């Protein structure tokens, strides 16, 4: 089962998306990072910490600009045993699809293919 990592500039978007996915995918581990000190922004240290606590595979979603940059840097620094995938699918729709598919036992590679289809 793949874990989901949600990165947003807004804590409300990150936590709201996490809550939405958790309602439909109760057994999936979902991490969310958003905002910095009550303002907008992303935090590479928090992203790195969450990557260190993920399961076998992690599928990551982001919203805009520097959230991708910080996510990519965190993944580059990650030296753990798990596979980390960054999806370019829309944050809410992509994380929802990934969470539901993971909860019904769909493999990570199949989930990634479905996420790629969302971009077309």
- pLDDT class of 101 with cuts at 50, 70, 90: very high
pLDDT of residue 77: 93
Mean pLDDT of 3-14: 96
Other Cβ atoms closer than 10 A to 8: 26
Each residue's pLDDT tens digit, 61-98: 999 888 999 999 999 999 888 899 999 999 999 999 99
Question: Which of 9, 31, 82, 85 does the annotation list as catalytic?
Answer: 9
Q: At residue 120, does pLDDT exceed 90?
A: no
Share of the chain above pLDDT 70, in %: 99
The residue-averaged pLDDT of 12-23 equals 97
- In the chain the domains, ranked by start, together with CATH numbers, are 3-118 (3.40.50.510)
Residue 82 bears catalytic tag: no
Give the mean pLDDT of the chain.
93
Instruction: Please report, for residues 41, 88, 114, the alpha-carbon distance to residue 53 in angstroms, rounded to integers and kept in the order given.
Output: 22, 22, 25
Q: Residue 37, by phi and psi: left (phi above 0), alpha (psi -120 to 50) or beta?
A: left
The pTM of this model reads 0.93
**Runs of H (alpha helix) within the chain:** 11-24, 44-51, 66-77, 91-103, 108-118
Which pLDDT does position 8 carry in this prediction? 96
pLDDT tens across 43-69, in order? Answer: 999 999 999 887 779 999 999 888 999
């Amino acid at each position: 089962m793949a874990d989901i990592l949600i990165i947003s500039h807004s804590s409300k978007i990150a936590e709201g998306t996490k809550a939405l996915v958790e309602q439909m995918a109760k057994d999936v581990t979902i991490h969310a990072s958003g905002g910095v000190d009550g303002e907008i922004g992303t935090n590479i240290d928090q992203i790195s910490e969450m990557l260190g606590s993920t399961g076998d595979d992690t599928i990551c979603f982001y919203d805009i600009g520097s959230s991708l940059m910080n996510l990519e840097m965190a993944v580059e620094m990650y030296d753990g045993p798990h596979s980390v995938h960054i999806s370019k699918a829309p944050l809410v729709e992509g994380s929802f699809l990934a969470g539901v598919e993971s909860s019904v036992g769909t493999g990570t590679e199949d989930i990634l293919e479905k996420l790629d289809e969302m971009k077309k």
